């Protein structure tokens, strides 16, 4: 006599090991077909859909599955953050952070001069190649200005900055000295469009050597902004060096070695002018101190350098930044000239921000120089206050003010 279908469980279902009993009591059992009407139905089996539903429900409710979802979510968040541009969202340095691949590397660079006859920029290693026989000077004006890479209208803003600086230098500077000194201008936060505008400026072409006129190579291939130095053509240039920092923002110090004359001896000497932009924000480990220590060594401990200075945006955000110049062995020109650290007269940032800034107003921009009796910096003054573009839309040239100083070599 043939066995009833209900007598023995099918091999597949019999092999399933359920973690907990199926809760199918509330579901109607599957009726026997007409061909089974004569058999006694002692049990009913779950349908394939019931099996699938039970497996999914058990998996989703397990702790391992929930942990897997959490880990997956964290991985996706981390991958999203890592894809952001480091200029706008740097990773927090700290334990285990790898140093920048070019940290501490110094590259010798050429400088650029505009050929008025051929109407094009030419690259030279130093101005000695031009055979100009210019007598070195014992004094020159120095201007440092962070011109803000991120605000709208960058080309209009750099054009307005050049126009303002031209009028400032023609008038003799903030201190109105008797004779107009040739100038060295160090600029920070120069972006790609600004480099192009600098190279196309007739005033720059006629009057300055420029460290950068193109963004096809060097720092410009991996940074949205950088440092550029303009040297008056009346000042001989001996060398250009770009020193790379350990930095989340591809920061550096751009040195230009110029030939000057000692006021005491009339002897020709090498003066090193540094243009820097120290690390922004408050990283987990202090980077600005190490960056400035590295740069200061190039000014203080090179036997080929008579004296020198470092100017730029120092980003003094942490309390220790107030002692940074002393820590690295440099003097602060503003303080040496009688300025007070707490005085608003020295502030260079916080007044021309777009919207209300949550940060206090500070003296971000400084001129630091080697101690001793070989260099003095006089007539230190804040410049660029309230200056705006002349073209519409009218905007501030920068969120920073600049700083002027008259440098004398002894």
Reported as half-sphere exposure (CB side, CA atoms, 13 A), residue 23 has a value of 6
pLDDT at 45 over 90: no
* Residue 61: predicted pLDDT: 66
**How far does CA 66 lie from the centroid of its chain?**
40
Would the CA dihedral through 99, 280, 231, 262 be positive or negative? negative
Q: What average pLDDT does the segment 10-39 reach?
A: 42
User: Poorest-confidence range of 40-49, 127-136, 362-371?
Assistant: 40-49
- Taking alpha carbons only, the member of 248, 319, 322 closest to residue 280 is 248
pLDDT at 55: 62
pLDDT (tens digit, 9 = 90+) per residue, 25-39? 444 444 444 444 444
Q: In the chain, pLDDT over 90 holds for what percent of residues?
A: 64
Is the model's pLDDT at 21 over the cut of 70?
A: no
What is the C-alpha separation between 195 and 204, in angstroms, rounded? 12
Q: Please say if the pLDDT value at position 237 is more than 50.
A: yes
Q: pLDDT > 70: what percent of the chain?
A: 77
Give the HSE-up count for residue 41: Cα atoms under 13 Å, Cβ half-sphere.
12
Angle between helices 192-200 and 154-170 (to 10 degrees): 40
Task: Give the chain's mean pLDDT.
Answer: 84
Give the pLDDT mean for 381-388.
Answer: 97
pLDDT in tens, 313-327: 999 998 889 999 999
Under CATH, what is the fold of the domain 106-409? Deoxyribonuclease I; Chain A (3.60.10)
pLDDT digits (tens, 9 = 90+) for 210-220: 999 999 998 99
| Lowest-pLDDT choice from 51-60, 105-114, 244-253, 356-365 | 51-60
Residue ranges, CATH 3.60.10.10, the chain: 106-409
Q: Write the burial class of residue 345 (CB in 10 Å: 0-12 exposed, 13-18 middle, 19+ buried).
A: exposed
- Distance of alpha carbon 326 from alpha carbon 301, whole angstroms: 16
- Please report the pLDDT score of residue 179 as a whole number: 52
397 vs 168: CA distance, rounded Å: 15
Decide if 271 contacts 257 (C-beta within 8 A). yes
- What is the pLDDT, as a whole number, of residue 60? 57
pLDDT of residue 222: 84
Helix, strand, coil share of the chain (percent; to 5): 25, 25, 45
Better-predicted residue by pLDDT, 2 or 247: 247
Q: 121 or 6: whose pLDDT is higher?
A: 121
Mean pLDDT of 41-45: 53
Question: What pLDDT score was predicted for residue 11?
Answer: 43
Q: Which residue has the higher pLDDT, 91 or 196?
A: 196
Predicted local confidence at residue 136, as pLDDT: 95
Match 């960058």 to its residue by tokens: 154
With cut-offs at 50, 70 and 90, classify the pLDDT of residue 72.
confident
Say which residue, 318 or 203, is predicted with more confidence.
203
- Residue closest to 112 by CA, chosen among 103, 120, 123: 123
Predicted pLDDT at 17: 43
pLDDT-derived band at 355, boundaries 50, 70, 90? low
Q: In this predicted structure, which of 162-166, 280-284, 360-364, 390-394 has the lowest mean pLDDT?
A: 280-284
> Mean pLDDT over residues 51-64, rounded?
66
Q: Is the pLDDT of residue 304 over 70?
A: yes
Across the range 52-59, mean pLDDT stands at: 65
pLDDT at residue 311 greater than cutoff 70: yes
End-to-end CA distance of the chain: 123
């Amino acid at each position: 006599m043939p066995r009833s279908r209900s007598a023995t469980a099918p091999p597949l279902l019999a092999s399933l090991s359920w973690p907990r009993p199926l809760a199918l009591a509330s579901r109607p059992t599957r009726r026997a077909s007409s061909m089974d009407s004569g058999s006694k139905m002692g049990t009913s089996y779950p349908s394939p859909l019931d099996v699938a539903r039970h497996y999914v429900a058990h998996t989703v409710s397990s702790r391992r599955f929930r942990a897997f979802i959490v880990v997956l979510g964290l991985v996706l968040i981390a991958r999203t953050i890592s894809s952001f541009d480091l200029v706008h969202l740097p990773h927090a340095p700290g334990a285990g952070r790898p140093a920048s691949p070019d940290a501490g590397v110094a590259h010798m660079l050429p400088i650029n001069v505009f050929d008025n006859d051929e109407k094009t920029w030419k690259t030279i290693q130093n101005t000695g190649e031009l055979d100009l026989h210019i007598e070195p000077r014992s004094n020159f004006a120095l201007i440092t200005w962070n011109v803000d890479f991120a605000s709208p209208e960058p080309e209009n803003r750099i054009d307005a900055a050049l126009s303002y600086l031209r009028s400032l230098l023609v008038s003799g500077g903030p201190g109105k000295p008797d004779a107009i000194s040739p100038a060295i201008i160090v600029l920070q936060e120069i972006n790609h469009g600004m480099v192009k505008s600098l190279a196309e400026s007739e005033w720059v072409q006629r009057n300055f050597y420029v460290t950068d006129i193109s963004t096809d190579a060097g720092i410009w291939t991996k940074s949205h902004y950088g440092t550029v130095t303009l040297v008056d053509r009346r000042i001989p240039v001996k060398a250009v060096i770009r020193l790379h920092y350990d930095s989340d923002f591809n920061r550096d110090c751009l040195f230009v070695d110029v030939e000057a004359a000692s006021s005491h001896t009339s002897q020709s000497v090498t003066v090193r002018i540094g243009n820097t932009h120290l690390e922004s924000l408050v990283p987990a480990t202090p980077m600005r101190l190490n960056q400035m220590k590295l740069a200061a060594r190039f000014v203080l401990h090179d036997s080929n350098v008579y004296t020198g200075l470092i100017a730029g945006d120092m980003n003094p955000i942490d309390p220790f930044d107030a002692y940074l110049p002393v820590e690295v062995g440099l003097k602060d020109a503003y303080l040496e000239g009688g300025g007070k650290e707490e005085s608003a007269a020295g502030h260079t940032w916080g007044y021309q921000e777009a919207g209300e800034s949550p940060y206090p107003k500070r003296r971000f921009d400084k001129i630091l120089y080697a101690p001793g009796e070989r260099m003095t910096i006089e007539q230190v003054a804040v410049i660029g206050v309230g200056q705006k573009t002349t073209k519409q839309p009218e905007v501030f040239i920068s969120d920073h003010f600049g700083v002027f100083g008259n440098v004398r070599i002894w």
